[in-house]
Structure 1
């Protein structure tokens, strides 16, 4: 191969030779024109590049399309530039902050000067964006000297870009131009604006420049774009569905939880029905944990400041903690606990441990407190007090893999029992180029990382591996779950920790009669119980599995004459551990059925003259209608079969 040629290695391991300066688009064209039409960007030696950027050395290349996360991110970042071009055309003289891609779409922070921008103007911006997109202007990358970049934005009068330039080094600055718009940007971008076929600007918000409340508030415009109109239509449909499923709305309608300004923002109050749901979740997990060999523990809601100084949580969460609680003793300070793990370390330390005692698995539904800014609070997903289904496993290094596999079993049991079927396990490892930012010995890291990877393979998990995403104290496994609307949530995490055993001087006596440090595994299948309930509500639109739903049965007497028989049925069901209520209202049976449907009651039992005379109930299922008549005893058998079917199999 000559100096004028480069070798390109594709993801399948195949190799191709091209002229020096060839682009990822040339690589795509060498495979097929159809593929080239769909290429948005490329991963070149692990870095995302423009598809038309020249490659001047041997490289591994992965072509990115709309089906790749980095392809979507490039598409949406390019759309932010297109929106900025449309804004500048419609509002000459405006200034721009930053315009990144986000999980679903993009935004741009804009300074409109003295103009009051109104959301009613979004439609004309959308039209202008589509008009510019149809011009199919190329996104052109240009390396710029810092002094030239400064001169450009000084002439333009954009102080925000000048401030961004302050933090950049000469030789690392690039401009991107499409049509009549030029922006300071690292890139990458899609080949041209013609890829953008569908546009929707979603909403407008205020955003302080650089997140500093003392700086000017800019106008943040959120938008999303797609390569096909059909995909935008589907997204907007899901957006409307998400509004219907909003856990704050359903939580109020289903009488699950509430908030009170007198109690305090971000501190949920669980109502009777929500408490039943919450207790069922806790009972479900406790039963599974006992079977899996966990010992339950209970620790206080507060701890001495020195506990969290020792653990490092005071340093990490100090600013996000509530102010220390001062006792009558001078200088004695306690904190509302931000984490349960330091308390569990002290339980481990309460007596000498032998290698024969390990693994030791301690589990607690522990409530923790962290101060969140009021603007960041959001229903149950972002609160100031929340309960974790926390557990800490103290084990020998050679036990890490088996313990990981057992926790994976538990997490998958939770998912199967609650209808979460689409998930990916993210294996987060050290950055091999930056090992100094992690603590612990190399051989322990290598052993733990191998154990996680092997456990995931042996359990048949669909995985992605992220280098550099490990916690500083150890590698971890996070479960990324898609809900019914395709939204991603991080539910369930397993983390290996070498730091806390060191900080708390945890020890066990080995078979060699020497002292050793245990490895600590943190795990929380639910994570935050509050956040988990919020995700579950939105995933199932408030239609919980039968075993979990607060009111499993509504008994609907046709008239007051059958109130006594309805009570007999209720008493029998109560004895069989079936929860529900009798609708005693003086309403027609049709109205009672409709109201029970709205409340998402899984099963309705209608009782009238025939049922009372024959000792039966007429059964209706939510959303499915009449299931026929049966005796109360037969109904209890029927109910228990339905309930069992809604649960997974408890892991051994």
Structure 2
């Protein structure tokens, strides 16, 4: 046997090794139990791959992003095998890895029940212990059609080979865009075929390499994401490199469920989404209205301090406005259908920028007015598909805290710099402190984007320089730009480490041209302004939901709908507490008194459930001494505080916007 020379690449280290012909990647990394695949010339390969002379080979660790995807896709195959062993009539859809887990779609007569999932998970554990080997083989379209004649959805995927972009909702994980391959699950002892699936791979060496998994839930999903296709049953699961990581993930999910803004919104009487209104259309109750008002009021004051000018625009417009802006040709699917009257089509507003352009254009502008910063709490309506609507975080009607800045090209770098600082500082004031920035650029091969190469390059570079000055992680997002210009997105982590997209800042050379926006320059010539789009919260509803989950409903006192509740030990103490509450209200505080017939301990439990920042407890000694007792959210208590001092303390906590 002849020798072959390979280069092993580990981060920045390169090692040259000479091995015999036929050496596999598994043998190359023998003894490295956390290596589950190899990257050869940039492509992921199974460990069974035989390395060739001159190739550069990189180990893929199970804990890496690629390694996790391989683990989870392999677990999806095990789940599909388990389903077909228990339900032989089930037809296979697709089973890709997704963030933190995987799913697989099945065509079955009846939806899966919780008992079905338990049985499937038990069968998966049996398959995992068998140590079945994942074995890749190349096939032809014709041969695959014969082998998979009983799998109608797989036959459809075979027709997508070579055009994986059409394979919506993860189908490209099945067919890829090159040669067609099938993965066999082979018995560890006899090598007999146990199960097979059309798949691009790669996979783990054996089912024993799956350390920890759990099935989570099931639900309906249209085949390939289209409502025109059959409804299949989708089972979701999760898989992790260790049992400890699985346990931690399940604990994280339990905590996230406790913080779900939809659940807290009902428990705390903040908002609801009535069926009579329709999906994605929320109403804010009085308590939620207070939180929203405080959010908006603080933002409004900060904008006024930063020389923004407030405007208002209607909720509906002639359709032609959105043709001019470019939104209807490029974003029409996200807008509600037209309404026809007076012989013209009208559209519900899906974005505020076209109307702000009309405000700029309403009269002549001078360079002396620039930068002109327009700001609006503008309600918009977007047609989100029912499958993606989710509480307040993905709604059909919502209010954007939208601003558009019109400036000269010379002003643009400084404006972007100060704008990004303004955005980050204001988010910090609301209690978010862990950020990274994402720079979304255009794909030069796509026809989605409008404008010249020069304009895109100039705008992208200006955003990049502004982002780098913040000394925060900067993540590239190629192809993720809006159709009219590049953008910076602020990604903020909440209290349990989840990342949320918050503010966006977008540079736009195109809309000013499309609307014919002009200002008179210092030399008397007409010039075109640069337009900067900026939404700080994204939408008020979504930001409300993020803060609600971030604080788990326990808002800081300045945002809390009720800042303090008086708890009388007995009925005789109610008048005293009402006097205290009246004094507090004169100072702008939101203080109630629980004068119900409940016992004191039940009143305390009720207010704890409502996550009120302070309870003001009063008994005979307090009345005699002119004092109150503070009870905090954590259950600690401070007794005998003089009334004036107690009021001053409440005012101080609210004004400093601190959490207690």
Q: Structure 1's 457 and 37: CA in aligned 2 closer, same or farther, altered over 3 A?
A: farther
Task: For 1:152-231, list aligned pairs within 5 A.
Answer: 152-154=147-149, 157-169=150-162, 171-179=178-186, 180-231=194-245
Secondary structure class of the residue paired with 2:33: helix
Q: Which residue of 1 aligns with 2:142?
A: 147
Report whether the alignment pairs 1:366 with 2:362. Answer: no
Gaps of 5+ in 2: 163-176, 187-193
| Pairs aligned (count) | 635
Does the CA-based 8 Å contact 2:100-2:239 persist in structure 1?
no
Q: Structure 1's 446 and 136: CA in aligned 2 closer, same or farther, altered over 3 A?
A: farther
Q: Structure 1's 269 and 99: CA in aligned 2 closer, same or farther, altered over 3 A?
A: same
Does the CA-based 8 Å contact 2:310-2:375 persist in structure 1?
yes
Does the CA-based 8 Å contact 1:417-1:647 persist in structure 2?
no
Does the CA-based 8 Å contact 2:4-2:53 persist in structure 1?
no
Q: Structure 1's 571 and 21: CA in aligned 2 closer, same or farther, altered over 3 A?
A: farther
Task: State the shift of 1:203 in Å.
Answer: 1.2
Q: 1:262 aligns with which of 276, 282, 287?
A: 276
Task: State the shift of 1:266 in Å.
Answer: 2.5
C-alpha distance in structure 1 between counterparts of 2:134 and 2:621, whole Å: 76
Q: Which residue of 2 aligns with 1:423?
A: 435
Secondary structure class of the residue paired with 1:496: strand
Q: Which residue of 1 aligns with 2:497?
A: 486
C-alpha distance in structure 1 between counterparts of 2:4 and 2:44, whole Å: 24
**Cα deviations across residues 404-441 of structure 1 (Å, max 9, x unaligned)?**
33232233224323333333322222346x26653333
Q: Structure 1's 221 and 469: CA in aligned 2 closer, same or farther, altered over 3 A?
A: same
Q: Structure 1's 135 and 453: CA in aligned 2 closer, same or farther, altered over 3 A?
A: farther
Q: Which residue of 2 aligns with 1:385?
A: 397
Gaps of 5+ in 1: none
Q: Which residue of 2 aligns with 1:121?
A: 116
C-alpha distance in structure 2 between counterparts of 1:237 and 1:627, whole Å: 34
**Cα deviations across residues 146-200 of structure 1 (Å, max 9, x unaligned)?**
222223212xx11111111112139532222333332222233334333312221
TM-score w.r.t. the length of structure 1 is: 0.89
Q: 1:580 aligns with which of 587, 591, 594?
A: 591
C-alpha distance in structure 1 between counterparts of 2:415 and 2:80, whole Å: 51
Q: Structure 1's 556 and 116: CA in aligned 2 closer, same or farther, altered over 3 A?
A: closer
C-alpha distance in structure 2 between counterparts of 1:267 and 1:21, whole Å: 62
Q: Structure 1's 293 and 21: CA in aligned 2 closer, same or farther, altered over 3 A?
A: farther
Q: Which residue of 2 aligns with 1:495?
A: 506
Task: State the shift of 1:467 in Å.
Answer: 2.2
Does the CA-based 8 Å contact 2:63-2:241 persist in structure 1?
no
Task: State the shift of 1:401 in Å.
Answer: 3.2
Task: State the shift of 1:510 in Å.
Answer: 3.8
Q: Structure 1's 202 and 582: CA in aligned 2 closer, same or farther, altered over 3 A?
A: same
Report whether the alignment pairs 1:528 with 2:521. Answer: no
Does the CA-based 8 Å contact 1:426-1:477 persist in structure 2?
yes
Report whether the alignment pairs 1:301 with 2:315. Answer: yes
Q: Structure 1's 202 and 638: CA in aligned 2 closer, same or farther, altered over 3 A?
A: same
Does the CA-based 8 Å contact 2:460-2:486 persist in structure 1?
yes
Does the CA-based 8 Å contact 1:209-1:215 persist in structure 2?
yes
Q: Structure 1's 23 and 284: CA in aligned 2 closer, same or farther, altered over 3 A?
A: farther
Secondary structure class of the residue paired with 1:207: strand
C-alpha distance in structure 2 between counterparts of 1:23 and 1:364, whole Å: 62
C-alpha distance in structure 1 between counterparts of 2:464 and 2:58, whole Å: 23
TM-score w.r.t. the length of structure 2 is: 0.88
Report whether the alignment pairs 1:84 with 2:77. Answer: no
Q: Which residue of 1 aligns with 2:303?
A: 289
Does the CA-based 8 Å contact 1:9-1:59 persist in structure 2?
no
C-alpha distance in structure 2 between counterparts of 1:68 and 1:358, whole Å: 48
Q: Structure 1's 111 and 326: CA in aligned 2 closer, same or farther, altered over 3 A?
A: closer
Task: State the shift of 1:339 in Å.
Answer: 0.6
Q: RMSD in angstroms over aligned alpha carbons?
A: 2.9
Secondary structure class of the residue paired with 1:409: helix
Task: State the shift of 1:521 in Å.
Answer: 1.9
Q: Structure 1's 503 and 11: CA in aligned 2 closer, same or farther, altered over 3 A?
A: farther
